[in-house]
Chains A and B, each alone.
Chain A
């Protein structure tokens, strides 16, 4: 009896939580339609750490991540009317950030978007030279005394990205597929390879 009651309570709490999240997303969408400056200020504050961390992971460079951070919010202001509040705001935000990085990479080194996102390509979305200590490695080394954390920077950016989205941002695989604009199967295969690479890096082996 008590198990049933607790199960029902948990179910109700989950429903309530998802309803609140949906309301929040709708309210963000309405605010973005109006280009509400106070809402944007609040969102910048609220998501600063998560967005910056994601950008550091995918660019491998803290200074560049700062530039992309600002550009991302400018895009949010300009394209805010395109967010309809049906999905999580952070998934939309990360998608904007990611595409800014891809556009920048494409302008730097002309190649198609498919090449960058094709999981079968060797080390796609490689923004940092993996053979030398990367700026990300330096950032992590500075900010963490544990070598184990710095070794994470050895992982190719494309795998770091999925690991961050899944295990730090706790996005669902479907949401990740939206952010990355790839099929679910690709997200899963990147996650498995990323997990393997992460384990290898932490054990001090080759990635």
Chain B
């Protein structure tokens, strides 16, 4: 038998275990293994290696599960306690934003009136209004950034992409 046949048999032995092989290849391999002691030995070694891997035992340290359960419960409690604060912060942002939108026309008039009364240039009181308007938005952005920061550099690996 030439080397190519042995090489094919060895490749199929590995392939059969890793991803499976078509029935035709399986039949060919079975026949070859009956005839070739060298490849049969190779198949036995492969099987032995995998059996050793499957049967290898690693003892879990005693109490590891209960210690972990305790830590997880503590962390869950922490998260639960922090939840109302987070909600309050988001609510404050939302209210501030809604109030900003609703009151914008009145505040504009107020700035206009104040500008005319004090003789402040139009550009200045307009800028003042703009600043007043952007504060809730800036506050919102800061809160969002803080939330992102708190969650850490959450990457795609925890998401199910496949």
Interface of B: prevailing SS: helix
User: Is B52 on the interface with A (CB-CB < 8 A)?
Assistant: yes
In angstroms, Cα B66 to Cα A201, docked, is: 36
* Binary contact track A115-152/B, C-beta < 8 Å → 1, others 0: 00000000000000000000000011001101011001
* Cβ contacts under 8 Å, B48 to chain A: 202
**For residue A100, which residue of chain B has the nearest CB?**
B157
User: Is B49 on the interface with A (CB-CB < 8 A)?
Assistant: yes
- Of the four ranges (under 10, 10 to 19, 20 to 34, 35 or more), the interface on chain A belongs to 35 or more
Interface of A: prevailing SS: helix
User: Is B88 on the interface with A (CB-CB < 8 A)?
Assistant: no
Minimum CB–CB distance for A152 against chain B, Å: 7
User: Is B61 on the interface with A (CB-CB < 8 A)?
Assistant: yes
* Cβ contacts under 8 Å, B95 to chain A: none
Residue from B48, B54, B59, B80 having most chain A Cβ neighbours under 10 A: B59
Interface residues of chain B, those whose CB is within 8 Å of chain A, are: 14, 17-19, 45-46, 48-50, 52-54, 56-61, 64-65, 67-69, 71-73, 75-76, 79-80, 154-155, 157-162
Interface residues of chain A, those whose CB is within 8 Å of chain B, are: 35, 37, 40-41, 44-45, 48-49, 52-53, 56, 62, 66, 69-70, 73-79, 82-84, 86-87, 92, 95-96, 99, 139-140, 143-144, 146, 148-149, 152, 163-164, 166-168, 173-175, 177-178, 181, 188, 191-192, 195-196, 198-199, 201-203
